[in-house]
A and B are shown apart, each in its own frame.
Chain A
Amino acid sequence: AGVLTIGRREDSTTFDPIKSAQNVDNWVFSNVFDVLIRVDRTGTKLEPGLAESWTISDDGLIYTFKIRDAKFSDGSPITAADAAFSLLRIRDNEGSLWSDSYKIVDTAEATDDKTLVVKLKTPSAPFLSTLALPNVSVLSKKALEEAGEEAFAELPTAASGAFTVKEWRRGDRVILEKNPNFWQADRVKLDGVEWISVPDDNTRMLNVQAGQLDTAIFVPFSRVEELKKDPNLTVHSDTSTREDHLLINHEHGALGNKDVRQALDMAIDKKAIVDTVTFGIGEVANSYVPKGSLYHYADNYQYPYDPEKAKAMLAEAGASDLMLDYVVNAGNEVDEQIAVLLQQQLQKAGVTVNLQKVDPSQSWDMLVAGDYDISVMYWTNDILDPDQKTTFVLGHDTNMNYMTRYKNDKIKNLVAAARLELDPKKREDMYIEVQTTAKNDVHWIDLYYSPYINISRKNIENFYQNPLGRFFLEDTVKN
């Protein structure tokens, strides 16, 4: 019982799931709307959501879902038609930010109230995973059309998830109330949830320490040690899919040379970064597929930290006086700290680094334009399947392999093939190959993985999120 208050950085921007690509929104969508298929707590398995069960045709093109007996919060039944509507809407709606990801859907039809048939244009191994995305949540066609898209985005009139939206005080908080019509209503212990925006990290922590918030998310690494000492608090560390990595612009001079990139990898002391920046909380990364995720290759090669050798390799490659422009995201504490650290580490290998601190929007522009040599970025998975990230990072897609301009046809073909391969064992092998090749080519430099760190008051139980970020507030208890 009770209302759980959660402090976070920013407030929601909308309640129309297809119109946002931000975690701030997605994490609330998951509380309010249910999906056909969910990702479990470990982040490695899919489990039934509103779809009770499903079958896949042998050619991998036709998916048939059986919709569970469930109701929207307004009391109307959740039907296969609603599910079809939601799936087609995210593909076709003008304002959808996700249409590209669902272009693979050819048709989606409700053959009866409880049966949804989806036909794909091509087979796709990750398709089921994409259905777990909060953005493709099942919305009530009727409610949406009655309220109108805009009003619905302001305050959804029908929820399919554990909570309904009671009030949204813009800029301040989203107030959720238990949805009595939720199909798992007895699982939900809380009367409601308030997502409260407290932008300043220190203030947010202080709120929990002073007992004015039950929980707070986005705990800075630097605060963990100290907060652990507070007897009123529990510090949670939940596995995430976050990986921080150093982008390298392969088109810039010596950086096109694999030996130079390998030398750079060896010049970087990732352990020191983990210790300094994450206060030992993170873990050195060895692959672009995060640890604990599907098909992560634990034995992937790891370049040793060896600045002397790096220096020698650079000299051999004729790049002994390497000068690099390093684009740093302003306002991001972690990024800035990594930059300062890397600058000194690379100096030891004879590489001069110019830091260029710009605001994040601008750094995007510079990365896209290729106006950089190196830059640190991070990625968190939206879906359980590695395909999404792999395609973006190594699929030789329209985004120049995540702005690195990395080129390797072998990898390109491998990524495309893995997407179509439906046999999990074979797929796993393919992904291991992708991981080792990418590592050898140093398409980018993997730095570290880090968990989600949240705090809660001692009276809060079962407050956790899965690696994809979903908060399981239906399990949370406030004593």
Chain B
Amino acid sequence: MSILALANLSIAWRKFLAKRLTLTLGAGILLLFFLIAVGAPVIAPYDPILQNGDVRLQAPSLLHPFGTDNFGRDILSRVIWGARIDLQIAIIGVLFPFVIGTTVGTFAGFFGGIADTLIMRLVDIILAFPFLVLMLSIIAILGPGLSSFYIAMALVGWVSYARLIRAQMLVLKNSDYAVAAVSLGFSRPRIMFRHLLPNAIAGSIVFSMSDAVLVLLGGAAVSYLGLGVQPPVAEWGVMVAEGQSFITTAWWITLFPGLSIVCLAFGFSMVGDGLGEMLGMHE
């Protein structure tokens, strides 16, 4: 490749950056967290679960940039390892609801009728159901742990996607190109999945990014009530919750994991905004 081509490429890239600043910035943040998560064993200065009675509750210092907790564990290392769990929570916690909700919403919106009515009533019920009762009971029934949390999230979370997609489907299935597809003798699955779904899904993709934030917070809320990730695993929500008894004496225990949640959330919402701009949601 010639120098000229490279220069052109970099100009194009810069233009893309300027245009998609939000998206790029958001994706950059997410990528950073991803790298941190992947590189945790290398980056983290200490073992995240190793307790050290000699350095309990130490304020941030050169040795421990984020300080230590009441077991003398290094907060920085825990925050770094926490990225693994929290990214996983955000991704899996969104993926399942997304897939389930999208599928259900597509069918309900496209076919309508009794199935649609039943599904929408179910959606109403879940929406009206106190989230906490549902969450706590599902976790209690399934036993504690991340997988229960995912299942609970999926059982509750699909509703939003189903609603979004269904609403889009109702509009799109009467659109001219859907009618055109019918008039051309296309099969229903083809119309649903090849023609309508790709056009209906943009809103859900954008929403999934803010949903990721909500899932992270849901995790934190469940942790506050004591049913989060099992100790001694480092997870930001749990760290924040555990640190609450030290808020007045050792602020660093809550602040750094809290800030990490904020940054990750910020990354996700930037990507969401960026995708929205790109997919022409706000126009």
Contact = CB atoms under 8 A, between A and B. Distances in A.
Direct contact of A and B (CB under 8 A): yes
Interface of A: 201-202, 205, 220, 222-223, 225-226, 272, 275-276, 328, 330-333, 336-337, 339-341, 343-344, 355-359, 362
A202 B247 contact: yes
Given A276-B56, A358-B143, A336 B71 contact: no
A375 to B, nearest CB: 14
B227 A276 contact: no
A223 B230 contact: no
B231 A356 contact: no
B226 A276 contact: no
B140 A362 contact: yes
A225 B53 CA distance: 18
B122 to A, nearest CB: 27
Contact of A336 (B49, B53, B231): B231
Interface stretch (B9-17, B31-39, B238-246): B238-246
A276 B53 contact: yes
B46 to A, nearest CB: 14
A10 B2 CA distance: 74
B29 to A, nearest CB: 31
Contacts of A340: 51, 71, 231-232
B144 interface: yes
Nearest to A221: B245
A205 B245 CA distance: 11
A343 B233 CA distance: 12
A357 B53 contact: no
A222 B230 CA distance: 22
B249 interface: yes
30 contacts: A202-B248, A205-B248, A222-B245, A222-B246, A223-B248, A226-B249, A272-B53, A328-B231, A330-B225, A330-B226, A331-B227, A333-B242, A333-B245, A336-B226, A337-B70, A340-B51, A340-B231, A340-B232, A341-B51, A341-B71, A343-B231, A343-B232, A344-B49, A344-B232, A355-B230, A357-B144, A357-B226, A357-B227, A358-B144, A359-B136
Contacts of A330: 144, 225-227
Nearest to B141: A362
A375 B232 CA distance: 16
Nearest to B144: A357
A332 B234 CA distance: 18
B120 to A, nearest CB: 33
Contacts of B71: 276, 337, 340-341
B245 A220 contact: yes
A293 to B, nearest CB: 29
A333 B225 CA distance: 11
A332 B242 CA distance: 10
A357 B230 contact: yes
Cβ-closest 3 pairs across A and B: A331-B226, A330-B226, A340-B232
Contact of B242 (A272, A328, A336, A343): A336
Nearest to A328: B231
Contacts of B247: 202
B95 to A, nearest CB: 25
A45 to B, nearest CB: 36
Nearest to B73: A340
Given A344-B51, A357-B226, A362-B140, A202 B245 contact: yes
A276 B245 contact: no
Contacts of A356: 143-144, 230
Contacts of B244: 202
B70 to A, nearest CB: 7
A341 B78 CA distance: 16
Contacts of A223: 245, 248-249
B232 A226 contact: no
B26 to A, nearest CB: 34
Contacts of A357: 144, 226-227, 230-231
A355 B225 CA distance: 17
Contacts of B49: 344
Given A330-B144, A340-B231, A222 B70 contact: yes
A336 B140 CA distance: 17
Nearest to B225: A331
A208 to B, nearest CB: 13
Given A202-B245, A276-B56, A332 B230 contact: no
A225 B248 CA distance: 12
Given A202-B245, A223-B245, A331-B227, 11 more contacts: A202-B248, A226-B249, A276-B53, A276-B70, A332-B226, A340-B71, A340-B231, A341-B51, A344-B51, A359-B226, A359-B227
Nearest to A331: B226
B140 A201 contact: no
Contacts of B245: 201-202, 220, 222-223, 333
Nearest to A279: B70
Contact of B53 (A205, A226, A275, A333): A275
B232 A358 contact: no
A223 to B, nearest CB: 7
Nearest to A358: B144
Contacts of A272: 53
A332 B225 CA distance: 9
Contacts of B226: 330-332, 336, 357, 359
Contacts of A358: 140, 143-144, 227
Interface string B137-158: 0001001100000000000000
Contacts of A337: 70-71
Contacts of A276: 53, 56, 70-71
A304 to B, nearest CB: 18
A275 B225 CA distance: 26
Contacts of B232: 340, 343-344, 355
Contacts of A355: 230-232
Contacts of A332: 226
Nearest to B224: A331
Nearest to A209: B248
A290 B249 CA distance: 31
Contacts of A275: 53
Nearest to A330: B226
Contacts of B227: 330-331, 357-359
A357 B146 CA distance: 12
A294 to B, nearest CB: 34
Contact of B231 (A202, A339, A359, A362): A339
A199 to B, nearest CB: 12
B239 to A, nearest CB: 12
Nearest to B57: A222
A341 B230 CA distance: 14
